Structure 1
Amino acid sequence: MEVIKKGTTIQSLQIGMGILDTIAEQNSPLKFSDIQDLTQITKSNLYKYLNTFIQLGILFRNKDTGEYVLGSKLIEYGMAAVDQENVIDRISPFLLEINKRSSSTVLFSSWTQNGPMIVKDINNNRGINIGAQIGTFLPIRSAAGKVFMAFMDEHTIHEWKAKEFMQIPQEMARQLEDECMLIREKEIAFAREPLISSVSSVAIPVLNYQKKLLGSVIVVGFSEFIPVNENNELSQYLIQISKEISGSFGYRSRVK
């Protein structure tokens, strides 16, 4: 392993990456004053960093609220890093079909170092707040979070899982462990209002020929329209189309 000696790094780049790390760690939009309080960088210098990142597409600033979030360029970098672009292209027709059939928002999430993240969304009604958008990291108690917990390699998700379990009651953690066994068997997961009130989700895995999880397709909508178990017409449809999606990557499901 090559050791990087002191003096061979660019300090301004390190500071810039530190700012991005700070914003990413908060997992929510931040105002300029919030970022300044967290980083303790002088206002004049912080403005230069943030303005540069906005011009490069690395950050996005909401003109109405003045809040900063990670930008689309980072999503592009992340997609390239995890080699998911071909996956997105292949599943997009399925996402459109599911959106039409369910009349609800359809998302696709893939794994990142910080947990499952939404990388694609099909939402015909932008006026509805579903509590998630491209770039949102999903908690373990969400339907997609449960899918990643059930199908991802334990070594890969160990740190994320431990961090998530620290934020929920022990009883809920035990229930999630038990629920994962059923999710592996049925290849579908459900969550009641995991992010915001009145909005629930159902998720299915996308697996390849090695049974490796490539991501999760999520249907999100008002709780009254989202199923709570597999004994539902929409659930049965999702289980079936999950077989088709994963089948396109060589996976052969044993779910009957």
Structure 2
Amino acid sequence: MNDNDNALFNQSLEKGLAVLRAFDAQRRTMNLAEVAEAAGINKSSAQRMIHTLEALGYVRKHPQTKRFQLTPRVMEIGYNYLAADTLVDVANPFLAELAQITGETTNLTEPDGVEMVYVARFVAPKFIPIHMPIGSRIPMYCTGSGRAYLSALEDGEVRELLAASELQRHTQQTLVDPEAILAQVSMTRAKGYAINNEELFLGDMTIAAPILGSQGRPVASVHVVAPTSRWTQAEAERRLAPAVIECARAIRTSIRTL
């Protein structure tokens, strides 16, 4: 748990959120002891948090197994963010147009710490190797959208984010050396777009460009999925990159008019 001495900081709320975040694809259901361990709190606190969340409708207990799981009500919190996010509303028509132009799946991701979070997605009818629903998180250091975002930052900030990241190999193509990643970020700045060729998932290649806010700071990235079963890297860069760059620019221009 975070050690926060601010008198306004509510540790009970922190623990409640820790319990909600403890449930994931590897921990779909948990008993009380497992909840306490996953959330990093003691069993007594876990019991109070679970009881409260159950009473509020965010958690339910299976009548036979007595194991706890999240309810669909949890999605209300994430949906409220998307509904309030002006960028998503602005970007959606441009993402739809990009998907139509390229014939491939298009995505909008926003930064959170050292990760990028999927906040909008237009899925093409063609096969894509990896399904990434809204809310999915991917590391910045080894993805197209992450490197596109990093390319719009100063080198000092990029180094700080890389230092805070757990640089691990996901495939044989994954770059984990900070200097090699910085070189890719510099290349992205020069080209105006980033490319990720199977560094996170085999068969998955993406072309991405950063979206800059009104202050010139990056606020998101747009990327197109170019499966290696259909695209070579040279073809993807030649045919998709210009459309991705133009989409990012159009979104940025629209943001400025709001």
Same fold (TM over 0.5): yes
Corresponding residue for residue 64 of structure 2: none
How big is the shift at 1:126?
A: 10
Kept after mapping to 1: 8 A contact 2:223/2:244:
no
SS in structure 2 at match of 1:205: strand
Q: Hey, what's the Cα distance between the residues in 1 that align with 2:208 and 2:60?
A: 28
Asked if 1:235 corresponds to 2:236, the answer is no
Q: Give the alignment of 1:66-77 within 5 angstroms.
A: 71-76=74-79
How big is the shift at 1:141?
A: 0.3
Corresponding residue for residue 97 of structure 1: 97
SS in structure 2 at match of 1:190: strand
Asked if 1:220 corresponds to 2:225, the answer is yes
Q: Deviations over 1:120-147 (max 9, x none)?
A: 1122559855242211222120101111
More divergent stretch after superposition (85-94 vs 147-156): 147-156
More divergent stretch after superposition (170-179 vs 135-144): 170-179
Give the partner amino acid of 2:178. A
More divergent stretch after superposition (92-101 vs 126-135): 126-135
Q: In structure 2, do the counterparts of structure 1 residues 192 and 151 end up closer, same or farther at CA, with 3 Å as the change threshold?
A: same
Kept after mapping to 2: 8 A contact 1:151/1:212:
yes
Kept after mapping to 2: 8 A contact 1:131/1:195:
no
Asked if 1:185 corresponds to 2:190, the answer is yes
Corresponding residue for residue 121 of structure 1: 121
Q: Gaps (5+ residues) in structure 1? A: 252-256
Q: Hey, what's the Cα distance between the residues in 1 that align with 2:52 and 2:154?
A: 37
Q: TM-score, normalised by structure 2?
A: 0.70
Corresponding residue for residue 151 of structure 1: 152
Q: Give the alignment of 1:15-164 within 5 angstroms.
A: 15-23=15-23, 28-33=25-30, 35=35, 37-39=37-39, 41=43, 48=51, 51=54, 55-56=57-58, 71-76=74-79, 78=81, 85-113=85-113, 115-125=115-125, 128=128, 130-139=130-139, 140-152=141-153, 160-164=161-165
Give the partner amino acid of 2:92. S
Give the partner amino acid of 2:75. S
Q: Hey, what's the Cα distance between the residues in 1 that align with 2:60 and 2:126?
A: 18
Q: Hey, what's the Cα distance between the residues in 1 that align with 2:110 and 2:179?
A: 24
Q: Hey, what's the Cα distance between the residues in 2 that align with 1:153 and 1:76?
A: 32
Kept after mapping to 1: 8 A contact 2:149/2:209:
no
Give the partner amino acid of 1:102. T
Q: Deviations over 1:23-77 (max 9, x none)?
A: 4xxx755222364542464797675456457x35xx899xxxx976994334346
Kept after mapping to 2: 8 A contact 1:28/1:69:
no
Q: In structure 2, do the counterparts of structure 1 residues 227 and 118 end up closer, same or farther at CA, with 3 Å as the change threshold?
A: farther
Q: Hey, what's the Cα distance between the residues in 2 that align with 1:202 and 1:170?
A: 17
Q: TM-score, normalised by structure 1?
A: 0.71
Name the count of aligned residue pairs. 234
Kept after mapping to 2: 8 A contact 1:130/1:221:
no
Q: In structure 2, do the counterparts of structure 1 residues 28 and 120 end up closer, same or farther at CA, with 3 Å as the change threshold?
A: same
SS in structure 2 at match of 1:248: helix
SS in structure 2 at match of 1:120: strand
How big is the shift at 1:19?
A: 1.3
Kept after mapping to 2: 8 A contact 1:149/1:161:
no
How big is the shift at 1:177?
A: 0.5
Q: Deviations over 1:174-193 (max 9, x none)?
A: 22101111211221111112
